[in-house]
Amino acid sequence: MEVKMEVGSDGVAVITISNPPVNAFAISIIASLKENVGVAMSRDDVKAIVLTGKHGKFSGGFDINVFQKVQQTGKLSLLPDLSIDLVVNRIEDAKKPIVAAIEGLALGAGLEVAMGCHARIAAPKAQLGLPELSLGIIPGAGGTQRLPRLLGLPKAIDMMLTSKPILSEEGKKLGLIDAIVPPQELLKVSRQWALDIADRRRPWVRSLHSIDKIGSLSEAHEIIKLARQQAKRTAPNLPHHQACLDVIEEGIVQGGYPGVLKEGKVFNELVVSDNSKGLVHVFFAQRATSKVPNVTDIGLKPRAVKKVAVIGGGLMGSGIATALIVSNIYVVLKEVNSEYLLKGIKMVEANVRGLVARKKLAQSQADKALSMIKGVLDYSEFKDVDMVIEAVIENLQLKQKIFSEIEKACPPHCILATNTSTIDLSLVGEKLRCQDRVVGAHFFSPAHVMPLLEIVRTEKTSAQVILDLMTVGKIIKKVPVVVRNCTGFAVNRAFFPYKQSAHILLLLGVDLFRIDRLIRNFGLPMGPFQLEDLSGYGVAVAVGKEFATAFPDRSFNSPVTDLLIRNGRNGKNNGKGYYVYEKGSKPKPDPLVLPIIEESRRLANLMPQGKPISVTDQEIVEMVLFPVVNEACRVLEEGIVVRAADLDIASVLGMSFPSQRGGIIFWADLVGSKHIYTSLKNWSEKYGNFYKPSRFLEERAMNGVPLSAPDPTSKTTSSRARL
């Protein structure tokens, strides 16, 4: 980690940041950068400066580890003065011109420092962006002020609010970048550019003072007003989106420098907010999933997976095939007859068309993807596949038969994966000779869209196979989380009480639409009843039975879904569930469902003295989610996941648990295990075993240890050692 300065005979000082892998602005980098700029200013042989990054990258922004330290300690004093001291005073207001030479990426503070420079020269395809909002903060080194001044308000707001980067080519068109040159010429051109500014052959631009892209005050107000309305719709639970717009507006009304000052104040408030804590945790947790002890740290190299066979062209199989072909992996899709095969291929085509319609895929990529799939009815094409993913119905005998057939049909290196979501993996591969090649590839529906891939290992799955599947997962743009085998694996197991706890509340007399609304306000995209409508009641009943068999001591058998089915309702599938579904309009609460609910309440007879219980909004959210935390504790205790943060990521990506809450365990730790334990204990005394706190939760609560803390004496650690 270092900042180096070299002064050439042309009088240009090249200052190079090096902090692999992304040249993050760590505290010492910022200090050293300030010092080097200071030295360059004072040296008589330096006429101009070029600022650049080593290893083909400018900078990935401020060191996010520092935010975590600030959040853990509450010490804002750990944050260095980047915005005023470095970017305004030492760079933008410098007496000698400074040019940013950008290769690879300039994100967050990386781009903000570059925008403080007097010109920006970039290599082709460099990523430029201000992704701070995805961390629950706003840009904090002048980005909220300089980006609108360089790009105009609409594009700058869009880039900040979506956190999406643009490429240098677009940056050049819009005015963020002054010139694009091949990487090998980047330094040469930047040096000359800096000298040209020094000699007044090119403009010396201080972007904080530019106004030509801002437009009139009334236009600016109108653009910001529209952005506010849109942010209210798209990010209702993320107040920092509104805060970002407030800060941008301050700069428009009061001027760039007052805008920078307000930015700094709001930045400091946001960095210690719970939302930022959650999002920063998710940033690191997501990256930690790719570190699996005894798999990724033992020197294995992933083998290439070029051709995959998918067995079953139903909803899951066609989704998985889609995910593979759009990432350039050749697929053979096998079905039992030509009618089903045609259906499967048609579904893949529709999936690909959908991606094009949503602008996730260019038409040319779509055409290429569709040329990479072949439908088959037998195993002859399986002789050279690198992996098989079986995605047929959940029937153990059928899966066992398929696995013994593919063991014979596939080459000896081939990975044998199943997409089962419930069946015990050891049973699926029980009769095989090569059980080390058997692994679970649990995709979430729709498989070509949902980002999570649970990789399920048995005691026998080899490390190489796990590594290969993790690599395929990344190639197809999933986040692979390696878990151990159990009913429901990590996500469905931890969340099985979610629907049941909502049903108990309903049967205790709480309005179902209130429950859904409160869970939406908490940040999930929909409440448990709307989710049940969406997944279909058949799935709910089948999955409920699996869990009732596996965990009879804590499963609640609700009469509601059966009664709904008997009354001709099947959720979104037939347009009638808890909500009414009509084409082209949002789901509406259906008052006709209420007599069915009343009947269920009579049958269940849970309400004390036959009267609805009285609960606050907060209690409702807790009564739905604390049982999930309780089961998640068992998942941790049994070592199903490598680390607690993996369950956080799995809950965010698999269940859409709000990322700003940091995932199920991170949120639980913020709430406090003691409160969760006491509440569950209290409800278990009133309403039964469903709420009984797990031993893990009880121990952690009693000892004041966070649920996420690794415990060296626990079963989790010993099973981790086995993994």
Question: What are the C-alpha distances in Å from 52 to residues 99, 146, 167?
Answer: 9, 19, 17
Q: Does 103 bind ligand 3HC (CB under 6 A)?
A: no
Q: Which stretch binds ligand 3HC (CB under 6 A): 39-47, 63-71, 92-100, 536-544?
A: 63-71
Q: Does 489 bind ligand 3HC (CB under 6 A)?
A: no
Comparing CB distances to ligand 3HC, the nearer of 475 and 603 is: 475
Q: How far apart (Å, rounded) are the C-alpha atoms in residues 403 and 415?
A: 11
Q: Residue number with the shortest CB distance to ligand 3HC?
A: 108
| CB atoms inside a 10 Å sphere around CB 73 | 11
Q: How far apart (Å, rounded) are the C-alpha atoms in residues 110 and 118?
A: 15
Comparing CB distances to ligand 3HC, the nearer of 127 and 651 is: 127
Comparing CB distances to ligand 3HC, the nearer of 246 and 599 is: 246
Q: How far apart (Å, rounded) are the C-alpha atoms in residues 28 and 32?
A: 6
Nearest to 29 by CA among 94, 86, 72, 71: 86
Comparing CB distances to ligand 3HC, the nearer of 148 and 527 is: 148
Minimum CB separation from ligand 3HC for residue 25, in Å? 7
Q: Which stretch binds ligand 3HC (CB under 6 A): 19-27, 172-180, 421-429, 652-660?
A: 19-27
Q: Which stretch binds ligand 3HC (CB under 6 A): 131-139, 513-521, 548-556, 702-710?
A: 131-139
Do the strands 127-129 and 105-107 form a parallel or antiparallel pair, or are they unpaired?
A: parallel
Q: Does 131 bind ligand 3HC (CB under 6 A)?
A: yes
Comparing CB distances to ligand 3HC, the nearer of 196 and 274 is: 274
Q: Does 141 bind ligand 3HC (CB under 6 A)?
A: yes
How far does Cα 644 stand from its chain's mean position?
16
Minimum CB separation from ligand 3HC for residue 568, in Å? 49
Q: Does 128 bind ligand 3HC (CB under 6 A)?
A: no
Contacts of 31 (CB under 8 A, 6+ apart): 80
Among the listed residues 108, 312, 480, 639, the single contact to ligand 3HC using CB under 6 A: 108
Instruction: Answer whether 298's CB lies under 8 Å from 153's CB.
Output: no
Q: Does 272 bind ligand 3HC (CB under 6 A)?
A: no
Q: Does 64 bind ligand 3HC (CB under 6 A)?
A: yes
Task: Reduce the DSSP state of residue 307 to 3 states and report it.
Answer: strand
| CB atoms inside a 10 Å sphere around CB 173 | 10
Nearest to 98 by CA among 40, 53, 149, 139: 40
Residues 75-94 that bind ligand 3HC (CB under 6 A): 82
Nearest to 448 by CA among 320, 568, 590, 556: 320
Q: Does 159 bind ligand 3HC (CB under 6 A)?
A: no
Q: Does 63 bind ligand 3HC (CB under 6 A)?
A: yes
Nearest to 221 by CA among 157, 128, 298, 137: 157
Q: Which stretch binds ligand 3HC (CB under 6 A): 102-110, 303-311, 446-454, 458-466?
A: 102-110
- State the catalytic residue, choosing from 92, 103, 112, 335: 112
With left for phi above 0 and alpha for psi between -120 and 50, is residue 418 left, alpha or beta? beta
Q: Does 686 bind ligand 3HC (CB under 6 A)?
A: no
Among the listed residues 287, 545, 674, 686, the single contact to ligand 3HC using CB under 6 A: 287
Question: What are the C-alpha distances in Å from 12 to residues 17, 140, 492?
Answer: 16, 29, 60
Minimum CB separation from ligand 3HC for residue 240, in Å? 12
Strand arrangement, sheet containing 438-443: 373-376, 330-334, 307-311, 387-390, 415-418, 438-443, 452-457, 479-484
Q: Does 107 bind ligand 3HC (CB under 6 A)?
A: yes
Task: State the amino acid at position 148 in one-letter form.
Answer: P
How far does Cα 186 stand from its chain's mean position?
34
Task: State the amino acid at position 260 in one-letter form.
Answer: V
Residues 20-59 that bind ligand 3HC (CB under 6 A): 21-22, 24
Q: Which stretch binds ligand 3HC (CB under 6 A): 132-140, 219-227, 329-337, 535-543?
A: 132-140
DSSP line for 107-160: ETHHHHHHHHSSEEEE-TT-EEE-GGGGGTS---SSHHHHHHHHH-HHHHHHHH
CA atoms within 13 A on the CB side of 575: 5
The answer to whether 132 is a known catalytic residue is yes
Q: How far apart (Å, rounded) are the C-alpha atoms in residues 512 and 510?
A: 6
Q: Does 104 bind ligand 3HC (CB under 6 A)?
A: no
Q: How far apart (Å, rounded) are the C-alpha atoms in residues 224 and 711?
A: 49
Phi and psi at 49, nearest 5°, equal: -130, 145
Q: Does 666 bind ligand 3HC (CB under 6 A)?
A: no
Comparing CB distances to ligand 3HC, the nearer of 28 and 684 is: 28
Q: Does 139 bind ligand 3HC (CB under 6 A)?
A: yes
- H/E segment holding residue 309: strand 307-311
Among the listed residues 33, 37, 88, 109, the single contact to ligand 3HC using CB under 6 A: 109
Q: Does 132 bind ligand 3HC (CB under 6 A)?
A: yes
Minimum CB separation from ligand 3HC for residue 26, in Å? 8
Comparing CB distances to ligand 3HC, the nearer of 29 and 198 is: 29
Comparing CB distances to ligand 3HC, the nearer of 62 and 496 is: 62
- Residues 250-269 as x/- pattern, contact with ligand 3HC by CB under 6 A: --------------------
Q: How far apart (Å, rounded) are the C-alpha atoms in residues 495 and 400?
A: 28
The answer to whether 112 is a known catalytic residue is yes
How far does Cα 494 stand from its chain's mean position?
18
Minimum CB separation from ligand 3HC for residue 662, in Å? 16
Minimum CB separation from ligand 3HC for residue 115, in Å? 11
Comparing CB distances to ligand 3HC, the nearer of 225 and 287 is: 287
- Total residues interacting with ligand 3HC, rule: CB under 6 A: 23
Among the listed residues 112, 249, 454, 631, the single contact to ligand 3HC using CB under 6 A: 112
- State the catalytic residue, choosing from 103, 132, 532, 631: 132
Catalytic residues: 112, 132
Binding site for ligand 3HC (CB under 6 A): 21-22, 24, 60-65, 82, 105, 107-109, 112, 131-132, 135, 139-141, 143, 287
